[in-house]
Amino acid sequence: MINRRTVLRNGLLSTAALGLGTLPFARGVFAAEQEIVAVEWGGNYLAAVEAINGTQDAVDVTFDLHSGGAATVLAKIDAAWPERSFDAVAAFSPVFTSMIREGWCETIDPDEMPNLKDVPRALFMTDADGALKVVPRSITGQYWGYREDMAPFALENVEQLLDDRLRGQILFPSPIMNSNMQMVTIARALGGSVSDIEPAWDFVKELARKGNIGRVSTSDSETLNSLASGETSIAFSATTSFAEVAKVAPVKHLTKMPEDSGFVTALVMEGWAIPSNGRVDAAKEWVNLMMSPDNNGTMNEMIGTVPTNSKAAASEALAHITFTEDELAVHTLQPDWAYQAENMNEWATRWEREVAPLL
């Protein structure tokens, strides 16, 4: 048997390969012993994917890591198209919206990938014709949270971010991060909406004038480092970032706050898209292997997200991001990723013109 090899693009051999058991997949459905290039985040994401990938030898995987925001992969695919660049792309809803619109995604068929039969159909992203285009692997969220050990008081509503006691304590993501959900949530709290975020611009400019913004982050690693080090203590970020911070300090997740608080959770799906110009069969085999109940559960436990395979066990530590149907209606929103993607460049330009000079 040929041993599975996982290598990074820089040629270094992976060091995270844990024995997690044999993967339950019928060999031979797709071509075996093929090589694919899979895009993935670094840090605990890469560690989790490598750990599970280390238990299979059907497909050799080279991991190409996201640099900066996940949306940068779109430019790489576009520059190479129609030539092959990647065979499996790990990303989240906004990136997939663009990939589907461009027609880059192979159609997903659970009959070909049997582990996907245990994933609720409603979680799959589709094209205009209803064809399944993205494999959902994780449910996570973007929301406000803070380090309880550093907070001068318990935050109860969005307006309190202007409190003088929070000078230098807020890490505010640049509009290129999170599809600018941080400003969308503020706008909603102040009577605006995704299509009218003007209230958020006035609010954020006041935050900057008062000196409450201690850092503007442009990457997930920058967010994590600032919060973990104590440089800042309050942020709008993803479940996974707060999970890492929680390893070094207690975190208050503002995910199930009263409706009139203005704090709301934007639900995000993370998963894989399989570009139609890549090694489709091998990529489908590999993604199916990764989506078994055990593997999907293990991966999500390691990265701090909720698994999508209905047979996978969800961690009790994720209770703050696990919602009942009633809680979904009160505490969450479904972002308009397409609209936000269309306006991201304009928002980023306006930030540099109106907010950056005040910092």
Is the pLDDT at 292 greater than 60, yes or no?
yes
Over the chain, what is the mean pLDDT?
89
Q: What is the pLDDT of residue 2?
A: 32
Q: Do residues 109 and 132 make contact, with C-beta atoms less than 8 angstroms apart? A: yes
Structure confidence at residue 317 as a pLDDT band (50, 70, 90): confident
Which listed CATH number (3.40.50.11440, 3.40.50.2300, 3.40.50.12500, 3.40.190.10) goes with 140-267+333-358?
A: 3.40.190.10
Cα 122 from Cα 126, distance rounded (Å): 10
Is the pLDDT at 13 greater than 50, yes or no?
no
Cα 340 from Cα 347, distance rounded (Å): 9
Is the pLDDT at 209 greater than 70, yes or no?
yes
Query: Start-end ranges of CATH 3.40.190.10 in the chain?
Result: 6-139+269-318, 140-267+333-358
Structure confidence at residue 334 as a pLDDT band (50, 70, 90): confident
Beta-carbon contacts of 227 under 8 Å, excluding residues fewer than 6 positions away, are 147, 171, 233, 235, 237, 241, 245
Average pLDDT over residues 11-28: 34
Q: What is the pLDDT of residue 71?
A: 77
Q: What is the DSSP string of 207-240?
A: HHHHT-EEEEESSHHHHHHHHHHTS--EEEEEHH
Q: What is the pLDDT of residue 67?
A: 83
- pTM higher than the cut 0.75: no
The b/e string for 230-269 (b: 16+ C-beta within 10 A; e otherwise) is: eebbbbbbbbbbbbbbbeeeebbbbbbbeeebbbbbbbbb
Beta-carbon contacts of 303 under 8 Å, excluding residues fewer than 6 positions away, are 44, 45, 48, 138, 240, 243
What letter would DSSP give residue 264?
Answer: -
Structure confidence at residue 33 as a pLDDT band (50, 70, 90): low
Among the residue ranges 2-11, 97-106, 125-134, 193-202, the one predicted with the least confidence is 2-11
Structure confidence at residue 16 as a pLDDT band (50, 70, 90): very low
Residues facing 37 on adjacent strands:
62
Is the pLDDT at 9 greater than 80, yes or no?
no
For 235-275, how does the pLDDT look when each residue is reduced to its tens digit (9 = 90+)? 999 988 998 999 999 999 999 999 999 999 998 889 999 99
Beta-carbon contacts of 102 under 8 Å, excluding residues fewer than 6 positions away, are 78
Cα 286 from Cα 147, distance rounded (Å): 38
Cα 58 from Cα 33, distance rounded (Å): 5
What letter would DSSP give residue 243?
Answer: H
3-state secondary structure of 121: helix
- Could you give the angle at the alpha carbon of 144 between the alpha carbons of 143 and 149, nearest 5°? 135
Q: What is the pLDDT of residue 121?
A: 86
Residue where the block lists tokens 């909603």: 188
Cα 23 from Cα 21, distance rounded (Å): 6
- Is the CATH number of domain 6-139+269-318 1.10.10.10? no
Q: What is the pLDDT of residue 313?
A: 86
Residue where the block lists tokens 């044999």: 22
Q: Do residues 177 and 66 make contact, with C-beta atoms less than 8 angstroms apart? A: no
3-state secondary structure of 38: strand
Is the pLDDT at 25 greater than 50, yes or no?
no
